Amino acid sequence: MSPFPIATDKKALEEGTVLAPRFDANGLVTCVTTDAATGELLMVAHMNAESLRLSIESGEAWYWSRSRAELWHKGATSGQIQTIVEMRVDCDQDAIWLKVSVAGDGGCCHTGRHSCFYRVQPLREPSARPLAFA
Residues that bind its own copies (CB under 8 A): 3-4, 14-19, 30, 32, 34, 38-41, 43-44, 52-53, 56-59, 84, 86-92, 94-95, 97, 109-111, 113, 116-128, 130-134
Q: Quick one: 56 or 103, whose CB is closer to its own copies?
A: 56
Q: How far is the CB of 22 from its own copies (least distance, A)?
A: 12
Q: How far is the CB of 32 from its own copies (least distance, A)?
A: 5
With the C-alpha atoms ordered 100, 63, 9, 18, is the resulting torsion angle positive or negative?
negative
Q: How far is the CB of 27 from its own copies (least distance, A)?
A: 15
- 24 labelled as ligand-binding? no
Nearest to 94 by CA among 28, 34, 43, 33: 28
Q: Quick one: 6 or 132, whose CB is closer to its own copies?
A: 132
Backbone angles phi, psi at 123, to 5 degrees: -110, 165
- 105 labelled as ligand-binding? no
Q: Quick one: 77 or 128, whose CB is closer to its own copies?
A: 128
Backbone angles phi, psi at 21, to 5 degrees: -60, 140
- 31 labelled as ligand-binding? no
Question: Would strands 29-35 and 41-47 be described as parallel, antiparallel, or unpaired?
Answer: antiparallel
Nearest to 11 by CA among 96, 95, 91, 97: 91
